[in-house]
Structure 1
């Protein structure tokens, strides 16, 4: 007798696809369920990512849950309506399918009519994936071409900066006009005038923050925000486009050599003369030598400010003794204070050498003293248990909101079927409800994933000892660059108490860091208290683990 095929259905639709092409999650699910029913396949799970783009795995909690369930052998096959529901990029699609195959799980697409259990199916997947990515890239290129043409004709693309707002001039909202917001424009003019008068980026940010001003997104001003305003030619009546290519993947590394600069249709906020003066100063300061701090700062960005929680960065003071000798003292100081000024936070400086010494000693003590490590292990397990009830309560609240929204949808459908509600009003309300429902369903998926991690078996003392011990052994024998890399990979954050002393060191281990950086188990001195000569294979980490010491 043939064994019943256990199938997991996966469906996804982005908000744009749903609005523009009318793609429906329910239609995908109904089609896949019916096909499984005809072929006597058992649907053991449905995984649905609603209103989420397929350009990456990040944020797709149902896909993440599906991949974990595949590792737990909960089904034999993953079934999708179209292959591009799984991933938009060919490399991501192949990676996902490879992960499924390693767990003996087949991948099948209904529309393309292939499955990966055959050689031809694998070949078809690769070809269709390449074609799908070509289609996506063609659409992206066409959109970029349109944006470039708009820029060449003096029209703005995307969000407008401080001082402006975009106003729709047609019913469909495709044509817009840029107008000046007088209050914000006065602020932009003040920023340019201050810089032209010789004030630095931090001094300007500090002044604006003290006066209670906010950026376009409602945040306090930083040196980066001031710099971006001073470098934006839109304020002098020009349109700049294509500074960076593929910003989502490459960020500032994708600097383009084909920048478009054209006269805009929008009004200028500052004069050409003031713009040129500021740009001259910007150029002069850009070629000035940057400050260079002597010494090796291990914990930059890891220590958190005890006042505002921002990352602390390298700083120093230089004084002279009575005999004229230069005395240099090195610290870690609040990054927000250094960037945004005293209205936002204070320096809260801690001595560099003292902080680094305490952190390294804290890690070593955890390895060498069993009582400390046992307490740490107990704390890890208690924390995980303590998280379960709040997560369950939140999950219950989310589920209640989902049920309420589903009930509302049914009521509106009943009213529509009874001709008691206008069609356009029904469509508008249904869209609103679907958006709210997508948000709640995504939140439910995320909570279910978090609960799954926290409900795993308790963490063992041997595992914690192995991880922290291998980490310490690598730190003790590595040169500075590797030591700093290891710390930034493993240390999640270092907190300070109210007296600016190291309070806790939070270590975050996961399968990737454990596999690639802590896989070789170093042996310890057998005479040391609590030492563990690890011979053979060290305990393997199968979940994300946070340890506070």
Structure 2
């Protein structure tokens, strides 16, 4: 029998073991002392936990304070961690539990997939779960769903508690409006800000508009609550805030089942508590201000909360500056013996050095639309018909063909995963190879699904364009020349207007066409 002698490996002292860069993520939901103490404990734990291992290199600690875990967009440190992972600064992530990482199932799975695409696993201590060695996402989905359910339960308990405080008038307003400060128990008047509040109400009652009031405050350098910029919207909100007369309406907004915040327009009950705190404005002046605001709205035929309130003119929100990309605002210009309406770039109004686009007259823009429509009516056979035919026979066919190709690739992907499962079951390949290859195939399948969804959206957009173009063609075939501007016609066919100069406007139609017109 042949004798085999094992020769032991010789470790080269000059070869350094490659260390994995490990980062930790922590989060607490509130700014309470107990929660912040918990955060400090977590930070200390992870610094010791990571540095204790020779094969790990401490890559940083990322922590969010007083922030909900239901929305990843609201957690800047988590987003910074993802950005650092993309930049190649992190190889591995450690966190306390799934609920600390994310209470939203979709967000959790999306983040895990995104990090796995970067080949960066996450280790959840509480669940003893390493995403780098998972055979599937099922276990993670179940656990993150439980975390989301726990968040919903906590949210419902919190809402019940807040609701009771609404009903008995003990709810505390931790962030009071401009003019007030919070001392931890009640709202107190801020004398400097209160003087500005009184000035705003007095200016309105003297006949000034909200934009003129905002411009005056900005010109004088008066700081806002958050040292921002005064706008007419801010002024309108203050003029309608009942807190300035000492009253308080609870539940002006609410969260839906997806944790999104909405203004309460009657969907939920509200609670009015009079004489909740010291008033800044006399009730008579406040009611006079509301009467004046309502009178101005009635004169313009505007009802608060209606669609017309949000877009009171046909061009509102639809005119885009071709230089800076901002929207245009309607203003009244005065000449010696007459006035006229014009549309001005919002950026140009605030700072002419940032945008040099000059105003365009409302009547010129309307006439340009009439001219453009009449050209379509006159030339629909050479413009609209060929355009519809091209839409029907080009991009949609290519997209459908591409969708079929992706479906074939997805079927092949599924077969490969099934083959891997059989090979692993028969012991031909080990668990590590199976997990790595399966994760790659799952990631590839996700990419295929995303691409297919985008193509389906493209096909849907093309179908919409064909529909819109057909409606426009029928109008052009049956309708005569357009004599004057019709608001209904504009809203029916035009998506938006790009202003290139005072003499050129580009009408982007809902059917996908963009037509230039001189003014």
Which of 215, 218, 228 is residue 237 of structure 2 equivalent to? 228
1:59 to 2:80 alignment: no
CA displacement, residues 38-67 of structure 1 (integer Å, 9 cap, x when unaligned): xxxx43663521345454256235422454
1:24 to 2:33 alignment: no
Query: What is the Cα deviation at residue 120 of structure 1?
Result: 7.4
Consecutive unaligned residues in structure 1, runs of 5 or more: 169-175, 305-310, 355-473, 488-493, 501-549
1:273 to 2:294 alignment: no
Residues 26 and 101 in structure 2, CA contact (< 8 A), matched pair in contact too: no
SS at match of 1:350: coil
Query: What is the Cα deviation at residue 27 of structure 1?
Result: 0.5
Query: What is the Cα deviation at residue 223 of structure 1?
Result: 0.9
Larger Rg: 2
CA displacement, residues 68-91 of structure 1 (integer Å, 9 cap, x when unaligned): 267x9x85x644332334334222
CA displacement, residues 333-352 of structure 1 (integer Å, 9 cap, x when unaligned): 54764xxxx9x999965155
Aligned position for 2:270: 259
Which of 210, 217, 220 is residue 201 of structure 1 equivalent to? 210
Aligned position for 1:11: 24
Relative to structure 1, the CA distance from residue 220 to residue 262 in structure 2 (aligned partners, 3 Å threshold; closer, same or farther) is: same
Aligned position for 2:177: 161
Query: What is the Cα deviation at residue 232 of structure 1?
Result: 0.9
Which of 340, 350, 374 is residue 358 of structure 2 equivalent to? 350
1:404-423 maps to which residues of 2 (within 5 A)? Answer: none
Which of 182, 185, 192 is residue 201 of structure 2 equivalent to? 192
SS at match of 2:137: helix
Aligned position for 2:223: 214
| CA distance in 2: counterparts of 1:485 and 1:7, whole angstroms | 52
SS at match of 2:208: coil
Relative to structure 1, the CA distance from residue 485 to residue 83 in structure 2 (aligned partners, 3 Å threshold; closer, same or farther) is: farther
1:283 to 2:291 alignment: no
Aligned position for 1:394: none
Which of 313, 316, 319 is residue 292 of structure 1 equivalent to? 313
1:48 to 2:61 alignment: yes
Residues 47 and 63 in structure 1, CA contact (< 8 A), matched pair in contact too: no
Which of 125, 135, 139 is residue 124 of structure 1 equivalent to? 139
Query: What is the Cα deviation at residue 328 of structure 1?
Result: 6.7
| CA distance in 2: counterparts of 1:117 and 1:347, whole angstroms | 51
The two structures have a TM-score, normalised by structure 1, of 0.49
Residues 180 and 194 in structure 2, CA contact (< 8 A), matched pair in contact too: yes
1:141-156 maps to which residues of 2 (within 5 A)? Answer: 141-152=156-167, 153=169, 155-156=171-172
| CA distance in 2: counterparts of 1:212 and 1:321, whole angstroms | 32
Residues 25 and 61 in structure 2, CA contact (< 8 A), matched pair in contact too: yes
Residues 301 and 313 in structure 1, CA contact (< 8 A), matched pair in contact too: no
SS at match of 2:188: strand
1:90 to 2:98 alignment: no
| CA distance in 1: counterparts of 2:275 and 2:149, whole angstroms | 33
1:366-445 maps to which residues of 2 (within 5 A)? Answer: none
| CA distance in 1: counterparts of 2:163 and 2:109, whole angstroms | 33
The two structures have a TM-score, normalised by structure 2, of 0.52
| CA distance in 2: counterparts of 1:210 and 1:219, whole angstroms | 13
Greater than 6 Å deviation, 4+ residue runs: 118-121, 318-322, 344-348, 477-487
* Length, aligned pairs only: 343
Larger RCO of the pair (alpha carbons < 8 Å, separation 6+):
1
1:303-322 maps to which residues of 2 (within 5 A)? Answer: 303=324, 311=326, 313-315=328-330
| CA distance in 1: counterparts of 2:340 and 2:186, whole angstroms | 58
Residues 318 and 327 in structure 2, CA contact (< 8 A), matched pair in contact too: no
What is the aligned-residue RMSD (CA, Å)? Answer: 5.1
| CA distance in 1: counterparts of 2:208 and 2:340, whole angstroms | 28
Residues 293 and 316 in structure 1, CA contact (< 8 A), matched pair in contact too: no
Consecutive unaligned residues in structure 2, runs of 5 or more: 1-8, 10-16, 303-311, 365-461, 470-489, 503-519
Relative to structure 1, the CA distance from residue 212 to residue 26 in structure 2 (aligned partners, 3 Å threshold; closer, same or farther) is: closer
| CA distance in 1: counterparts of 2:316 and 2:158, whole angstroms | 48
Query: What is the Cα deviation at residue 13 of structure 1?
Result: 2.5
Residues 192 and 278 in structure 1, CA contact (< 8 A), matched pair in contact too: yes
CA displacement, residues 330-388 of structure 1 (integer Å, 9 cap, x when unaligned): 54354764xxxx9x99996515599xxxxxxxxxxxxxxxxxxxxxxxxxxxxxxxxxx
| CA distance in 2: counterparts of 1:67 and 1:216, whole angstroms | 36
